[in-house]
A and B are shown apart, each in its own frame.
Chain A
Amino acid sequence: MFVDYFYYLKERLPVSITEYMTLMEALDKGLIHNMVEFYYISRSILCKNEHHFDIYDIAFANYFKNASLKFPEEIKQQIWDWLEKDLNPPELPDGFQEFLSQHFDLEELQKHFEELLKKQDDEHNFGHHWIGTQGDSRFGHSGQNPMGMRVGGSSGMRMAIQIAQKRIFADYRKDIVLDTRQIKVALKRLRKLEEIGKRDELNIDKTIDKTAKNGGDIDIVFEKRRKNNVKLILLMDVGGSMTPYASLVNLLFSAANNMSHWKDFKYYYFHNCIYESLYFNAQRNPDEAIEFDEFLRKYDNKYKVVIVGDAAMASWELTERYGSIYYYHRNELPGIYYIKELANHFKNNVVWLNPELIRLEWVPWTRKIISSIIPMFNLTVDGIEESMDYLRKSGKDMYTTIQMLKGLNY
């Protein structure tokens, strides 16, 4: 009976058949007693990420508010069966039910209710006409119309829709659903296991070997634990042309930052091109920055450097003295000097990730220059994987998009 509902959600959310079957099981076992419970339980079963709750809310409200009017008869009946539970027949005086059935046709009442539901958008209380509380309309609850239909209160479809319409999860919504998990899995490729600490891990194979050779006298072999020894620096462009990719860069950042995987993880920001300072935060406050020279002194070439930027800028930002996009910023050396310095210092341990997908037909001039100095990859899951492989092997045996770019004439 809820197949339509499932497909309606499936168009909007990643719901699976397993989960649908679980929901059916819950209904079958009689675990759901009314629409409010249905709203919460179906959310718990079908929707596994709070970032999707808002989409669920909208879908739920729309489906039961609008689509319900177009339901086939039997589905409508089943939903009405639920609502009827709220009619409270036992509380009515004797003979009242009869009176009701003589004067009011349930079907007519339902039709009226549906019409109202369609028209009504806000909450209505103390009214005569709309569905709401404490009024004398024929619909609603805690009201005075004896021939009315109880709607809502602690339960009921209207209530469930109202909860959905509140959309309290709007803040949790993330429209980019490219989740950090994929990125993390890609980042995991960058791994260089090295032995650290005390010899406290038992090597069973070696122990057995040695013990056997020892004629059964136990000879236990302990080894040092192996741990990832990769130290990573992320340099992020926060220039104006990067604004459309801000959330993508954030995603990469939070994925890298949340990984317990690195031995050391540092990040800095720059604007359009790298000059004599790298900033601690995206606001680029001059007091909170590190001098480029000090940066090179602080981090040796064992660090792996990932630069994220679109590498698209005016040519003078890259090649001219005083070329920085900021009028008051007088860079004594052109941007390209710093790019080259980075490449010289970190050798094959630096890559550039570009959120603007690399197309061979059209490459901004500055991007050509930069990519001829630092290998450039797409900021996509594939691109990250490729770049991590490049870093892991320190650039050996790699054929990348960039090699192709390098061959271009400019």
Chain B
Amino acid sequence: MSNTGFNQFRGDVNTERIKYIADPQLRNIVNVSIALGRPLLVKGEPGTGKTLLAHAIAEALGKRLIIWNIKSTTEAIDGCYMYDTVQRLNDSRFGSDERNVDNIKDYITLGPLGEAFVSNEQVVLLIDEVDKADIEFPNDLLQELDVMEFYVKETKEFVRANTRPIVIITSNNEKELPDAFLRRCVFHWIEFPSKEFMAEICNLHYPNLKQNLLDQCLKHFYALRAITKIRKLPSTSELLDWIGVLLKSGISIDELKKGIPFLGVLIKKEKDVELALEKVKFPT
């Protein structure tokens, strides 16, 4: 297929700032969602690199990344624009050299969504943790994400996207998202990496890591993950941190074989630590 602009994202990024590999399925879906101009909704276990994906895409395609972090108080309008009434009121009283009180536009600042729309070049827009906000929040974004425009009622103007941004939305499944919102997205569930793929990921982050050390680390790691009762299973990001700690401490492979040092890096809940200690050895 000789589709121009398709297959842009190759799936692996290895730069100073970002090291990331996507499995082939994820890579395909990213490219499909770019080609279709639909937002990509990514879900998956915590620590499987959902947020990092957007960073990696921006890095790989050399595009600007705009991040919209969603909080429990975030409203859809926050992403579009903000009208600073207090500043205007203040300026009307005391005057301003920079702003003209009669010009309402001087008091309108664009939010992340607005900025992504007005940018002349295509940008990557990350809407992070969309499930954090109120349950109705995604419904308020339908028009914005569908047609990629919104209306500024103060100036009676539309802000339209010059080029459709690449939209990546992440969710941690805290709330279910409305169907109308889901219909407009392409959805991907990031599977937990297999042992082989995990080895690849570790090698990318720690290129000098010895093979036998890595094997032992992965053995411990997957043994921990096999304990089904653990509530917060260790994830990729925790494994990478843990390997980092091991390397810094200069631990030998023999010591590592005896048990799991620095268990706290992998397991964060007290009850889980107890469970883990029952099942796996701990060096004394």
Set of chain B residues within 8 Å of A26, measured between Cβ atoms: 32, 35-36
Say yes or no: B189 contacts A204, CB within 8 Å.
Answer: no
Contact residues of B between 184 and 227, Cβ < 8 Å to A: 184-189, 191
Output the least CB separation between B184 and chain A (Å).
8
Q: List the interface of chain A (C-beta within 8 A of B).
A: 14, 16, 18-19, 22, 25-26, 29-33, 37, 40-41, 44-45, 47-50, 53, 168-169, 179-181, 184-185, 188, 202, 204, 207, 211, 216-218, 220, 258, 260
Say yes or no: A29-B25 contact (C-beta < 8 A), given A48-B187, A185-B135, A218-B93: no
Set of chain A residues within 8 Å of B32, measured between Cβ atoms: 26, 31-32, 41, 44-45
Q: Is B109 an interface residue (CB 8 A)?
A: no
Say yes or no: A48-B185 contact (C-beta < 8 A), given A41-B28, A179-B176, A202-B85: yes
Set of chain B residues within 8 Å of A168, measured between Cβ atoms: 191
Rounded to whole angstroms, the CA-CA distance of A26 and B37 in the bound complex is: 11
Output the least CB separation between B186 and chain A (Å).
5
Say yes or no: A22-B38 contact (C-beta < 8 A), given A30-B3, A41-B29, A202-B85: yes
Set of chain A residues within 8 Å of B183, measured between Cβ atoms: 16, 18-19, 48
Rounded to whole angstroms, the CA-CA distance of A149 and B60 in the bound complex is: 38
Q: Nearest residue in A to B83 (C-beta to C-beta)?
A: A204
Contact residues of B between 66 and 94, Cβ < 8 Å to A: 72, 85-86, 89-90, 92-93
7 closest Cβ pairs, A-B complex: A181-B176, A48-B182, A50-B189, A48-B187, A30-B1, A40-B25, A218-B93
Say yes or no: A204 contacts B28, CB within 8 Å.
Answer: no
Rounded to whole angstroms, the CA-CA distance of A109 and B183 in the bound complex is: 40
Say yes or no: B29 contacts A40, CB within 8 Å.
Answer: yes
Say yes or no: A25-B85 contact (C-beta < 8 A), given A41-B29, A44-B187, A44-B188: no
Q: Is B164 an interface residue (CB 8 A)?
A: no
Say yes or no: A184-B135 contact (C-beta < 8 A), given A30-B1, A31-B31, A168-B191: yes
Set of chain B residues within 8 Å of A32, measured between Cβ atoms: 32
Q: Quick one: which of B35, B135, B176, B189 contacts A53, CB cutoff 8 A?
A: B189
Output the least CB separation between A226 and chain B (Å).
12
Q: Is B269 an interface residue (CB 8 A)?
A: no
Contact residues of B between 91 and 105, Cβ < 8 Å to A: 92-93
Total interface residues in chain B, CB < 8 Å? 37
Rounded to whole angstroms, the CA-CA distance of A211 and B184 in the bound complex is: 45
Say yes or no: B89 contacts A211, CB within 8 Å.
Answer: yes
Set of chain B residues within 8 Å of A22, measured between Cβ atoms: 36, 38, 186
Q: Nearest residue in B to A181 (C-beta to C-beta)?
A: B176
Mask, B6-44, CB within 8 Å of A = 1, is 100000000000000000010011011101101001010
Say yes or no: B93 contacts A217, CB within 8 Å.
Answer: yes
Set of chain B residues within 8 Å of A44, measured between Cβ atoms: 29, 32-33, 186-188
21 A-B contact pairs sorted by A residue (CB < 8 Å)? A14-B179, A19-B183, A22-B38, A29-B3, A30-B3, A31-B6, A31-B32, A31-B35, A40-B28, A44-B32, A48-B177, A48-B179, A169-B189, A184-B135, A188-B135, A204-B85, A216-B92, A218-B90, A218-B92, A258-B175, A260-B72
Q: Is B174 an interface residue (CB 8 A)?
A: yes
Say yes or no: A220 contacts B1, CB within 8 Å.
Answer: no
Contact residues of B between 146 and 176, Cβ < 8 Å to A: 174-176
Set of chain A residues within 8 Å of B90, measured between Cβ atoms: 218
List 15 extra interface pairs beyond A14-B179, A41-B29, A49-B187, CB under 8 A: A16-B183, A19-B183, A26-B35, A30-B1, A31-B36, A44-B187, A45-B32, A48-B177, A179-B176, A181-B135, A181-B175, A181-B177, A184-B175, A218-B92, A220-B86
Q: Nearest residue in B to A207 (C-beta to C-beta)?
A: B89
Q: Is B178 an interface residue (CB 8 A)?
A: yes
Set of chain B residues within 8 Å of A217, measured between Cβ atoms: 93
Q: Quick one: which of B43, B89, B174, B175 contacts A50, CB cutoff 8 A?
A: B43
Set of chain A residues within 8 Å of B29, measured between Cβ atoms: 40-41, 44
Set of chain B residues within 8 Å of A202, measured between Cβ atoms: 85-86
- Total cross-chain contacts (CB, 8 A): 89
Set of chain B residues within 8 Å of A180, measured between Cβ atoms: 175-176
Rounded to whole angstroms, the CA-CA distance of A260 and B178 in the bound complex is: 18
Output the least CB separation between A266 and chain B (Å).
19
Output the least CB separation between B135 and chain A (Å).
6
Q: Nearest residue in A to B41 (C-beta to C-beta)?
A: A48
Say yes or no: A45 contacts B3, CB within 8 Å.
Answer: no
Rounded to whole angstroms, the CA-CA distance of A336 and B178 in the bound complex is: 42
Say yes or no: B89 contacts A29, CB within 8 Å.
Answer: no
Set of chain A residues within 8 Å of B187, measured between Cβ atoms: 44-45, 47-49
Set of chain A residues within 8 Å of B1, measured between Cβ atoms: 30, 33
Output the least CB separation between A57 and chain B (Å).
12
Output the least CB separation between B83 and chain A (Å).
10
Rounded to whole angstroms, the CA-CA distance of A185 and B177 in the bound complex is: 12
Say yes or no: A258-B186 contact (C-beta < 8 A), given A31-B31, A31-B36: no
Say yes or no: B188 contacts A258, CB within 8 Å.
Answer: no
Q: Which of B29, B32, B38, B187 has the most CB of A within 10 A?
A: B32
Q: Nearest residue in B to A18 (C-beta to C-beta)?
A: B183
Rounded to whole angstroms, the CA-CA distance of A41 and B28 in the bound complex is: 8
Set of chain B residues within 8 Å of A207, measured between Cβ atoms: 89
Output the least CB separation between A52 and chain B (Å).
10
Set of chain B residues within 8 Å of A185, measured between Cβ atoms: 135
Output the least CB separation between A220 and chain B (Å).
7
Q: Nearest residue in B to A32 (C-beta to C-beta)?
A: B32
Set of chain A residues within 8 Å of B25, measured between Cβ atoms: 40
Rounded to whole angstroms, the CA-CA distance of A16 and B185 in the bound complex is: 12
Set of chain B residues within 8 Å of A29, measured between Cβ atoms: 3, 6, 35-36
Q: Nearest residue in A to B33 (C-beta to C-beta)?
A: A44
Q: Nearest residue in B to A172 (C-beta to C-beta)?
A: B189
